[in-house]
Chains A and B, each alone.
Chain A
Amino acid sequence: PIPAPAMECRVLSIQSHVVRGYVGNKSASFPLQVLGFEVDSINSVQFSNHTGYSHWKGQVLTADELHVLYEGIKLNNVHHYDYVLTGYTRDTSFLEMVVDIVQELKRANPNLVYVCDPVLGDHGSMYVPQNLYPVYKNKVVPVADIITPNQFEAELLTGKTISTEKDAVEVMDLLHAMGPDTVVITSSDLPPRLGDRFLVSLGSQRHVRPDGSRTTQRVRIEVPKVDAVFVGTGDLFAAMLLAWTHHYPNDLKTACEKTFSVMHHVIQRTISYAHDLAGPGRRPSPPQLELRMVQSKADIEDPAIVTEATVIS
């Protein structure tokens, strides 16, 4: 068989690096590379492991150091990217430098797609410094093309609470108005139709038809809950949403089905392994719960669809 031509798609991912485990760039790079994307990665920090372990140690990159790295890329005239991907950040000056870089990269390539996970908090409270909120709201989200907030982050960014699916649709429309054409609320407290072992996620994608009129595709996905705390799953989600919206740019339903299905396979494999390691009746530890990323290569390459997205009006 004649091999298909290589996809020439280059991503710039600006996220954390951990020596051990799968968060940030460690969570995003391998799956994107396995899917054939060229991934350039700027490590915003280098830590021994994620901060859910008993101990963690390492170093952070300053906004200046980030700029210096970008300058190196620019001086060589290779600052041409199809995608930018960002996630967890703790520092406003760093985040503002990221915005400057994204804006410049968009000038170099107006078709650039910025995939942004606006990590602010969850379950009603912020877990980054409060002064990041105005930066996300006023500077970051306006330049984003795809965002993956959870319910708390979506409510925070729009100032509107979500109690019903109708509220969620309005919040996603408000987020569209701020900038991004694609919004996925990765998890919510909305009541699942499949029962309390599931959680509800929603997606919304704005298109401009050939005749210039606008249309919005909205989807609802019910995802099995897992009885464990995972770290790095949000980073994997954003990376895989990048990949699958790339392959299905006008079909959010399919892009979401593939993305949520990959998550399911990786999480199931991880939780089985973690329980095996921990032993019967014991709660697995953070090291034991590290995502089984390399073991999930086949699922990453070609995820069997296990979650269906329903198109909603």
Chain B
Amino acid sequence: VGHPGTCRVLSIQSHVVRGYVGNKSALFPLQVLGFEVDSINSVQFSNHTGYAHWKGQVLTAEELNVLYEGIKLNKVNHYDYILTGYSRDTSFLEMVVDIIQELKKANPSLVYVCDPVMGDHGAMYVPEILLPVYRDKVVPLADILTPNQFEAELLTGRKINTQEDPLSALQVMDLLHKMGPETVVLTSTDLLSKHGDKFLVALGSQKLTKPDGTNSNQKICMDIPKVDAVFVGTGDLFAAMLLAWTHLHPKDLKTACEKTVSVMHHVIHRTITYANDVAGPGKRPSPAQLELRMVQSKADIENPSVVVEAKVL
């Protein structure tokens, strides 16, 4: 596996004392792959909000700015990547936008990897007022975007017809490209997989400028085995690993996605096996038991064997 050298990521996400969501989900795998990761914790909670109970504190937009100021005063506000995910607060999100704009001025080659977390399966699970902030301010700055189908539809105002071939999904991805990001991955859709209903369809699209100055567009499609469990933190792991594998395969979205989706598969499979073992036969595992088996998956994170192939469209 190629070494990223001194590649520095700024990740602004949640911290949980126990478990793997937000920065807890992103840091270890990125560090294991050799990335330097600076992390601003947007909240500190005991655990993710899928447990019976959760407690903790949130960072305000002002406190976020103070932390950034500290970095800036020391003249170390130089990053190759920024990574953001779940956010609940518009003023916080707007401060994130200001910081990214400043960091892009400091390094015009900076790549902003954005998971525009707003909802899933037809319903929003963040306040509605975040949508215009994502649509008008965040997504225009993003270079890599990882929406699910619902979030892609919200951002573009266009529904994806899941009974058709992926044409309408590809059109939505083109609309997202026009809004900003050169790389868009639809992490999950309701499109019908030709492998049957135990699979979901993910799509990716990357616009590249060839050495001769002309544009090209690689589009890929993946059929991913569904899992019968609710995981938390998988989207955060996905975005972090897409950052890593697009870095290591910058003009090859097919390979980057195959590696990313394969890592997800190995981690999820290990997790579900463990969770079912711990829960016992016939019992549904609890949120605590379903925490990602992250440290146990180190070898798969470092060098994922490819188990899902991407088809170039």
Chain A positions near chain B (C-beta within 8 angstroms): 6, 17, 19-20, 29-30, 33-34, 36-43, 46-49, 53-59, 61, 65, 68-73, 75-76, 78, 287, 293-295, 297
Residues of B within 8 A of A37 (CB): 295
User: Is there an interface contact between A30 and B31, defined as CB atoms closer than 8 Å?
Assistant: yes
A-B contact count (CB 8 A): 129
Nearest residue in B to A33 (C-beta to C-beta)? B295
User: Is there an interface contact between A20 and B71, defined as CB atoms closer than 8 Å?
Assistant: yes
Interchain CA distance A215-B66 in the complex, whole Å: 53
Q: Given A43-B15, A49-B70, A78-B288, output 9 extra A-B contacts at Cβ < 8 Å.
A: A19-B70, A29-B28, A36-B298, A37-B295, A56-B74, A78-B47, A287-B76, A294-B31, A294-B34
Interchain CA distance A237-B74 in the complex, whole Å: 27
User: Is there an interface contact between A69 and B46, defined as CB atoms closer than 8 Å?
Assistant: yes
Interchain CA distance A53-B44 in the complex, whole Å: 25
Question: Which one of B15, B18, B54, B71 has the greatest number of beta carbons of chain A within 10 Å?
Answer: B18
Indicate whether B45 reaches chain A with its CB closer than 8 angstroms.
yes
With A6-B293, A294-B35, A295-B34 known to touch, is A55 a contact of B17 (CB < 8 Å)?
Answer: no
Indicate whether B136 reaches chain A with its CB closer than 8 angstroms.
no
14 of the cross-chain contacts (CB-CB < 8 Å) are A6-B296, A34-B298, A47-B67, A61-B44, A68-B55, A72-B46, A72-B53, A73-B46, A73-B47, A76-B51, A76-B54, A78-B47, A294-B32, A294-B35
Residues of A within 8 A of B63 (CB): 59
Residues of B within 8 A of A65 (CB): 57
Interchain CA distance A59-B44 in the complex, whole Å: 12
Chain B positions near chain A (C-beta within 8 angstroms): 15, 17-18, 27-28, 31-32, 34-36, 38-41, 44-47, 51-57, 59, 63, 66-71, 73-74, 76, 288, 293-296, 298
Question: Which one of B54, B59, B67 has the greatest number of beta carbons of chain A within 10 Å?
Answer: B67
User: Is there an interface contact between B74 and A69, defined as CB atoms closer than 8 Å?
Assistant: no
User: Is there an interface contact between B47 and A57, defined as CB atoms closer than 8 Å?
Assistant: no
DSSP majority for the A interface? mixed
Nearest residue in B to A54 (C-beta to C-beta)? B74
Nearest residue in A to B66 (C-beta to C-beta)? A57
Question: Which one of B15, B32, B295 has the greatest number of beta carbons of chain A within 10 Å?
Answer: B295
Partner among A33, A40, A297 whose Cβ is within 8 Å of the Cβ of B17: A40
User: Is there an interface contact between A69 and B17, defined as CB atoms closer than 8 Å?
Assistant: yes
Measured CB to CB, the closest approach of chain A to B27, in angstroms, equals 8
What 5 A-B pairs are tightest by C-beta distance, nearest first? A48-B70, A72-B46, A72-B55, A57-B70, A75-B53
Residues of A within 8 A of B55 (CB): 68-69, 71-72, 75
